[in-house]
Amino acid sequence: MRTYLLLLFCAALYGSNFVLGSLLLEAFPALHLSAYRLLVSSAFLLIYLVATRGLAKITFRDFVYLVPFVLIGMLLHQVSFFTGLRTTDATTASLILSLAPIFTALFARLFLKEPLTKRMVAGSIVALTGVFFVVGTGGRMSTAITEGVWIMFICMLALSGSMILMKKLTERMDAFVATVYTTVLGCISVYPVAVWSEPTSLLVVGSLGRFGAAYSGLMRRNLECADSQGRGG
């Protein structure tokens, strides 16, 4: 029971990621938001790793999987995630990313030679058809899919590919250590791209100001909703 509750908690956190990401994009550029996110994650993970286990040595063979994972699972995934959220709604984005297990199974069959059952194939076809009807214009069979939808598909494919690379990487090192190192390297890769894209806006004071404005706007919106509901009651 505890395991299922933890999984439910993780699913709730993952779902809120789309909503919070859409709100924060009102205050931050997409690439900068990705860089800040990885920077904060890297700091916490590094502190915990050093305090509990210490830094682990990385060999040249580890970089064979680390570098592709960082480029695909961090740089491409993070950039496409926040860029896609700028041009599509959170619900559509979450539906598209829900296809990641399907493509992960296909990649696992192709690269890891894992079995792909008929039931998995049938379920994948149903899921793909359902998402296509939802994200299509007006919910009909249509190819008029927006740019944001295509970007989120790229994000989903990057996520699926990164899972295969992480599978190979964790065969060589501890899963938590791999998570820490890939997050830190991801931050190092995303940060220069963010600086290059909008160099004048990557200021700590300005960023804190934008975050404060976004947070104040969100709180004001919640207070207004609560006040209107109170009056209605």
Task: Supply the DSSP symbol for 138.
Answer: G
Per-residue tokens: 216? 């104040």
Lowest mean pLDDT among 48-62, 131-145, 148-162: 131-145
* Per-residue model confidence as pLDDT tens digits over 171-208: 888 989 999 999 999 999 888 888 887 665 544 444 44
Using CA atoms, how far apart are residues 183 and 191, in angstroms rounded to an integer?
12
Percent of the residues in the chain that have a pLDDT greater than 70, as a whole number: 79
Digit-coded pLDDT (tens) for 33-45: 888 888 889 999 9
CA distances for 12 relative to 5, 7, 62, 215, angstroms: 10, 9, 33, 21
pLDDT at 61: 84
The pLDDT, as a whole number, for residue 160 is: 92
Residue 93 in this model has a pLDDT that exceeds 50: yes
Rounded to two decimals, the pTM is 0.71
